[in-house]
A and B are shown apart, each in its own frame.
Chain A
């Protein structure tokens, strides 16, 4: 009975989110529209970006190699050439907006509209410019193989965990140039200080931990960033992301984990946040207050980032490949052999 009531509330919530997306579509102005090139079985990528010119070449390159056919992107008022760069890409359709990122639920409302319009029936990948997806065998098996397997196994969503990658030494000591693999310098990560709990309402696994909790939130771990993400979904126009890509509605899409057994197939989003640009950017983000629901609580976090701290520790783990992540238990091949 209780569950029926929750299910009903969730349904209302989902409809409210979809309605929001419908309203926010007016905030989007199309810049380039190549959506007529999308084929029936294409895998699509959705992303909201702001001043990401330095990350985009590698980002596009990585996902093109994995077989993403088309990118649908929203430019949130960049002034570093991001818009011009994206507008020149043949496989990118671009929209512009100068409205608030926070008010659009961190870009989710805008993307939700594009997903309703273009994503229906496609496998859709929703990632930020600093999130690079890896999964078991990603070097030899393009996304289409993964999605075919998911289809066959009757799964509509694919879970990942965000893995914060960092350099050795102060954050701004090793400059990164566009196009380079960001994980040449951001070679390190926290191997196993993650913790998770079930969230009753949405039935998703809430994962926290990692380097950001260790360094910035050691005294108030409840504020540490959420690391679970479900970026790859066989989209239906009735679906909606709830908060960033951490959770979705309807709730069954959040069940990307097993409560017994070996675990489902999962991936990792390598997070390239800690490139040298983060130091300057944190000063700006602290002023904009656009990134967290209670932004002022995160002032200390931005302040420490602006000091260019060294996140590295002797116990840090150096990244080699997906096999390593699988062995460490950060992701799993599940039944996909």
Chain B
């Protein structure tokens, strides 16, 4: 007596592997009917037949010329199935497989599994509304348009003809009683269902209809099974994966563990030279998997992740494989970072203080004119980023994104000022990962302390004020996506603790809200009000600092009532 599960195998190429798999099925007790694509040459076919001639329960059916996406594939499976049902009366389930399918578990387990479910048809079958995976926007239209041109060979004609039919609102009539369903073309049907489909009185009508449906091998059985089956389990027993373009995924040697974990009965498609896979699953009984319910979910998750990554990419990574156009980056930078403007001029020890209170990496002025002031004064920072200003300035965006990519997992902070390279002002302002805190006008403090002549100071102050003003306009523009906080120097000095506390709360370690125990040491500002007044008297109006009284005593200002923190010019 021959087995109860018959394998109909569709072979197109890689005949040596097909031989191996067919032999495996047959020797495990399953009758096999093979359809060989008539495009396979005569000599190769003869050799293939000869190689399997010693197996009694293995037949070859009439050959058709197969082309992807056409009726010929359904025709081939019909011919094969008919021969199977006719020749092997004991067969209860027919399994449609291809030459590049590989059984992952001992065949006996599949036989037992099906014997326990004698009336169940395993075929993925969903209505067109329910399938997300139809490629090229053609799902329902597969059934209502005509497709006389080959998608592979005459793509333009194919597309053009589809457009034309849409424009003239052409629609084919679907035969009575047929509700189009789609699904994987690899199924396993009971004798009863399969013979009902093949022996139905209306078969000619159905066949004539499906001959002109696009990719009928994904819809012919999937639709008709709904008319005849009593128990459909809408899933394929064959594991097959598709990439984001809808092309079948090929499994290689290194997928061995992944396939083992899937617990599926059969997988496709397998790279013909994947010796290790064929070795592991066909010859090595111990290597085959334990009994378990097939669990393609595990493998699905891995692939879904891959597909998502394929579509969205690694945020903030610029590399040879991806060069995102600005604003289409899926994240301009890989991780949050903070920019501080003005603080290092007001506090002598702001950098060490910030690093101590927040535990993050605090650089000096990364965009300083002479060199990038990395934390600790190192010349080369993580990822071998050098401090060379010419290299940085040749591509400042690459400099910043590299730095943040290299230090993923660490919060990066750096100082910024109108004295630094301003090329990235828009880029940073538009980046939601950036948080920018500005004490406007603080850049004047080094001038206040300097020994420059007053004419030089006046000139430099005017220059810096213009630069900062432009930067503030960017930060306040509606396109700015960064977290921005702007306060004038006067406001800040009035109540420095509150903004400092906010900084620590936002970038410090989570779940560990600290209260500020130690404030950084502010520089001496005695005489600052007078200095500003002098600038004013010279005709240069320093408006970004806010309102300082012209007297000597800065402490006076602290007594003043609090103003709203965002002061516009």
Contact = CB atoms under 8 A, between A and B. Distances in A.
Interface of A: 137, 140-142, 144-145, 148-149, 152-153, 159-161, 190-198, 205, 207, 209, 211, 213-214, 217-222, 228, 256-266, 313-317, 329-332, 334-335, 337
A258 B323 contact: yes
B406 interface: yes
Interface stretch (B215-223, B224-232, B248-256, B445-453): B248-256
- Most B CB within 10 A of own CB, among A160, A258, A314, A317: A258
B391 interface: yes
Contacts of B322: 257-264, 332
B515 interface: no
B405 A195 contact: no
Nearest to B398: A195
22 contacts: A141-B253, A142-B273, A190-B384, A192-B402, A192-B406, A194-B398, A196-B318, A205-B320, A218-B388, A222-B394, A258-B313, A260-B322, A261-B310, A262-B322, A266-B319, A266-B320, A314-B380, A315-B382, A315-B383, A330-B319, A331-B321, A332-B320
A196 B323 contact: yes
A213 B391 CA distance: 8
Interface in B102-159: none
Interface stretch (B169-177, B324-332, B558-566): B324-332
A221 B388 CA distance: 10
Contacts of A209: 398
A141 to B, nearest CB: 5
Contacts of B252: 137, 140-141, 145
B381 A261 contact: no
B323 A191 contact: no
A296 to B, nearest CB: 21
A337 B323 contact: no
A337 B299 CA distance: 12
Interface of B: 243-245, 247, 249-250, 252-254, 271, 273, 303, 306, 309-314, 317-325, 328, 330, 380-386, 388, 390-391, 394-395, 398-399, 402, 405-406
Contact of B303 (A207, A262, A313, A337): A337
A257 B314 contact: no
Nearest to A222: B394
Given A144-B273, A192-B405, A260 B244 contact: no
B319 A221 contact: no
B17 to A, nearest CB: 14
B250 A149 contact: yes
A195 B402 contact: yes
A192 B383 contact: yes
Given A160-B320, A198-B323, A262 B247 contact: no
Given A137-B254, A159-B320, A192-B406, 8 more contacts: A140-B253, A214-B380, A262-B310, A262-B321, A262-B322, A266-B321, A335-B306, A337-B306
Contacts of B249: 337
B381 A315 contact: yes
Contacts of A194: 319, 398, 402
Contacts of A329: 314, 317, 319, 405
A222 B393 CA distance: 11
A100 B165 CA distance: 61
Contacts of B250: 145, 148-149, 152
A192 B325 CA distance: 20
Contacts of B383: 190-193, 315, 317
B124 to A, nearest CB: 21
B321 A263 contact: yes
B318 to A, nearest CB: 7
